[in-house]
Structure 1
């Protein structure tokens, strides 16, 4: 062995022993979710003697880098394997995101190029010992239309009541080669709550509470010049636990959001049809430029869905599915909703079913105030500012007729039961 090789081996040996000594001082009882390459503040202090070796000489610096791969101190997902390096699920677990977030659960990912994740934030003053949970939305491409829509909308809606807080602007993480937007973690969605309720539907009082809050949400985001275009039960979340006000509902997912046009007339050119076909307005099906009336029409469909557990056009969609798969049966509510969702995207003329459904059928068994809300919405012209306060007051007056109307709905208690 040459003297140069001997010297290099000696340096690597010393670095290795110092690294082991520093690692042994870490208290893994508190489960450090960070990594040697991106340690939390506690781990960084304990690793300080090891990291200081980089200052000795270039050879020591090289050896230190070799001993600090971006592997994690602890494993959070036993048995989870992501074989494709290009997939966003794999990228999100390649390293610590922005050197402070550790992904531990995939909420959902689409086609491998965008996704939503739960992660630990170990960037606080106590590091991993008090790591909080956050939601991270991620995109592979920085030119993704939904990425641009979502991040642009959250920038405009910063501080808006009932819209989740974002932790800084969207950022690019070179270690994982992704664009990310860390956000406040909220509670379960109304869709999650529905699946836990008897008959998977809301009672009249609960629907009225949703109507009042959603009118407030849309009033606020429309005032800031944003059209949501994403109304569905899965895009409305309960407030985080132990926060005030406890009955607050949050509106999420602005991937299809568009700015409210300044022109008093809709665009003469057909726009892309995006959104959930079960809940989108009839005019949106035809690619007609959206305005406030479209969000409120979608809200009317949502309220009907919450009360009945389904929409009048769901059964024709299900019949279409069974015509292709004879004898096919659905065993649970979650599977039923997923299949209806898929069929609605495949069936291009859902709008015909909507137009053929009279309001009396859409709001069957519901209070008259829902029919009045429908008439007001359908009477709106493009870009006309709705009378949100009158709409809200009508639902509030109806709510007063119910017992215990002064107490807000305890959504979390319903979810736990």
Structure 2
């Protein structure tokens, strides 16, 4: 059972973020005889992630907790997807954290996984919300590889954003991971055919980075993950996107305002004053057909050519590495 060993502490949640009444507000919590939670790492809409210690071998882990009475149960599905990604036997850098355990205990579903480092959103803030072009181009290559791999396994991520890409810890600090598959969906059906085209779908994912077709209620497919990545890259280049912080009275109005601004902003204007390869990438993604397999090599080539044209050295020396070295 979850054993609460210290009194409640007040969470420092971001402004406007409401805490689920079932969320844990304690630190130093013991889960059975196996793990101890030491500090909160982050909080989502339906779950929380803690830093944990394996009491058997002192290994540091991440522990994700989801209340069993949560309206949207996603953790069991997510744990199955993590295991599915590791079941293919392909020896390659998947960039996906390993799951050690998934089980239900007391009031919580519990998933124990690799402990990773900060997210790209965290690192963007550490770097004063400015990444160099070199860092962005190196990230583009790595992020594309992660998306290509999960597509290779017939899965759509459906929530591509900076917070869902994390660097590793320890010796893996230059390795990029993709996480959070709670909203993911299989795009290839069991009979080998692509999922059918549908309309009037609710928006799934994060509106800021969602594709235009997702805003329009069209069933998501591979092109939407790639278009979302394009907005993430432009977010890093620009520091913000034109449709951020819209004035709205509710979520529906907010999503509508974001969609209108996104549709009315030409790709060339969004990417103005930046290397032309970014505009080419976004235009390519937007022109893909619903069931078309993206040309991942072409997408990679755009950023590789830009990297070479700029004369950069591929040394995996990211902006945050330089800050760490100075400190």
Conservation of the 8 A alpha-carbon contact between 2:127 and 2:320:
no
Q: What are the equivalent positions in structure 2 for 1:101-180 lying under 5 Å apart?
A: 101-110=35-44, 114-124=47-57, 131-141=58-68, 144-158=72-86, 161-168=94-101, 170-174=102-106, 177-180=107-110
* Aligned equivalents of 1:94, 1:140: Cα separation in 2: 18
Alpha carbons of structure 1 residues 361 and 148: separation in structure 2 relative to 1, 3 Å? farther
* Aligned equivalents of 1:312, 1:191: Cα separation in 2: 18
Q: Kindly provide the CA deviation profile for residues 48-79 of structure 1, in whole angstroms up to 9, marking residues without a partner as x.
A: xxxxxxxxxxxxxxxxxxxxxx575xx6xx87
Residue 303 (1) aligns with residue 224 (2): no
Aligned to 1:89: 24
Q: Which has the larger radius of gyration?
A: 1
Conservation of the 8 A alpha-carbon contact between 1:276 and 1:345:
no
Q: Which of 357, 368, 373 is matched with 2:281 structurally?
A: 373
**SS of the counterpart of 1:96?**
strand
* Aligned equivalents of 1:108, 1:261: Cα separation in 2: 32
Give 1:94 shift: 8.9
* Aligned equivalents of 1:280, 1:123: Cα separation in 2: 42
Conservation of the 8 A alpha-carbon contact between 2:35 and 2:55:
yes
Alpha carbons of structure 1 residues 146 and 382: separation in structure 2 relative to 1, 3 Å? same
Q: Kindly provide the CA deviation profile for residues 114-136 of structure 1, in whole angstroms up to 9, marking residues without a partner as x.
A: 22211112121xxxxxx232111
* Aligned equivalents of 2:253, 2:240: Cα separation in 1: 16
Aligned to 2:168: 239
Q: Which of 179, 182, 204 is matched with 1:274 structurally?
A: 204
Q: Which of 129, 146, 151 is matched with 1:222 structurally?
A: 151
* Aligned equivalents of 1:96, 1:352: Cα separation in 2: 48
Aligned to 2:131: 202
Structure showing the higher helix proportion among its residues: 1
Name the TM-score, length of structure 2 as normaliser. Answer: 0.83
Conservation of the 8 A alpha-carbon contact between 2:144 and 2:296:
yes
**SS of the counterpart of 2:60?**
strand
Alpha carbons of structure 1 residues 104 and 268: separation in structure 2 relative to 1, 3 Å? same
Aligned to 2:184: 257
Q: Kindly provide the CA deviation profile for residues 371-415 of structure 1, in whole angstroms up to 9, marking residues without a partner as x.
A: 221222112111211111121122112112334423122455245
**SS of the counterpart of 2:100?**
coil
Structure 2 alignment gaps of length 5 or more: 12-18, 88-92
Structure 1: 4+ residue segments shifted above 4 A: 92-95, 342-345
Structure showing the higher strand proportion among its residues: 2
Name the TM-score, length of structure 1 as normaliser. Answer: 0.67
Q: Which of 306, 316, 320 is matched with 1:408 structurally?
A: 316
Q: Which of 322, 329, 348 is matched with 2:256 structurally?
A: 348
* Aligned equivalents of 1:274, 1:145: Cα separation in 2: 15
